[in-house]
Every structure is written in structure tokens, then in C-alpha cells.
């Protein structure tokens, strides 16, 4: 029982020591609603950005490193449904990407290399049926 209590205490202590991020409003709409927020660590580095529609729903969000997009980013339709997902490295699109129709079904899926579509991309209609495939090449 003592070991369990000690483990729980250590877990809580670790969580509370975690870096706290400071929220900074970068831009606002005319109505005062935030358009863009940065989350800054104790070293004053922006590690996350969130952009909003004027109605307050998240428009786009993702990680930042050295003031450039980094890691996974997601964009959303005005109703809050996912519009696209993808990855960035040093501010450049890379790796797997997916784009969705407003009804939530996949619209297209493929890979990025050096910020450009690369390899086979598959396209779908609004019902989710494949409509075509295209191959892109990046040097």
C-alpha cells in the first residue's frame, strides 16, 4: 500500500513540475475575438499555435519550433470538423497528409516531400469512393 501511495505521489509531483505554457494573443478580430494564439514555454519559445475563425471555433492548430511549423498540424471547417491533417518539419510540409470533405469523408490522401506532393495521391468523392489516382515526383 505504501508503494502505491509513493508511486501516486511521484506521478502527481512529475505532472505539476511539467513546463507550464503561457498563452499569448497574437492577433484579434475587430469584435475582440482572438484570431491567433501562441503558446510559449519558459524560454519564451513559441511551441504551439492556434488560429481561430471569427466565431471562436479553431481554424488551424499545430506545433512550432524555431518560429516554424513543426510536427502535426490540423485544420478545421467552420463547424469544427477536421478539414485536413499533415506534418511539417522546419516549416515545410512533409510526410502523410489527408484532406476531408465537409461531410467527414476522405477527399484526398498522399505524401509530401520538400513541401510538394510526392508519390501516389488518391482522390475520393463525397461518398468516400475512390475517383482517381495521380502520381507526383519531387527531385
CATH of residue 25's domain is 3.90.930.1
Q: Is 64 inside a domain boundary? A: yes
Question: According to the model, what pLDDT value does residue 8 have?
Answer: 47
Q: Is 73 inside a domain boundary? A: yes
Task: Give me the domain span that covers residue 93.
Answer: 20-136
Identify the band that residue 139 occupies on the pLDDT scale cut at 50, 70 and 90.
confident
Question: How many domains is the chain partitioned into structurally?
Answer: 1
Checking if the pLDDT of 12 tops 80, the result is no
Q: What is the largest CA-CA distance in the chain?
A: 62
Are 46 and 65 in contact, with CB atoms under 8 Å apart?
Answer: no
Are 99 and 107 in contact, with CB atoms under 8 Å apart?
Answer: yes
pTM of structure? 0.82
Q: Is 11 inside a domain boundary? A: no
Give per-residue pLDDT as tens, 49-98: 999 999 999 999 999 999 999 999 999 999 999 999 999 999 999 999 99
Q: Is 85 inside a domain boundary? A: yes
Q: Which residue did the predictor score with more confidence, 73 or 139?
A: 73
Three cell numbers at 36?
491567433
Q: Is 8 inside a domain boundary? A: no
Q: Is 14 inside a domain boundary? A: no
Amino acid at each position: 500500500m505504501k508503494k502505491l501511495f509513493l508511486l501516486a505521489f511521484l506521478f502527481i509531483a512529475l505532472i505539476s513540475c511539467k513546463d507550464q505554457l503561457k498563452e499569448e494573443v497574437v492577433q484579434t478580430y475587430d469584435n475582440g475575438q482572438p484570431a491567433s494564439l501562441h503558446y510559449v514555454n519558459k524560454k519564451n519559445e513559441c511551441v504551439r499555435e492556434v488560429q481561430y475563425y471569427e466565431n471562436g471555433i479553431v481554424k488551424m492548430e499545430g506545433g512550432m519550433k524555431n518560429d516554424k511549423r513543426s510536427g502535426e498540424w490540423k485544420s478545421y471547417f467552420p463547424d469544427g470538423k477536421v478539414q485536413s491533417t499533415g506534418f511539417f518539419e522546419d516549416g515545410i510540409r512533409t510526410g502523410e497528409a489527408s484532406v476531408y470533405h465537409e461531410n467527414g469523408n476522405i477527399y484526398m490522401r498522399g505524401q509530401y516531400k520538400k513541401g510538394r506532393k510526392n508519390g501516389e495521391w488518391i482522390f475520393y468523392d463525397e461518398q468516400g469512393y475512390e475517383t482517381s489516382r495521380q502520381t507526383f515526383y519531387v527531385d
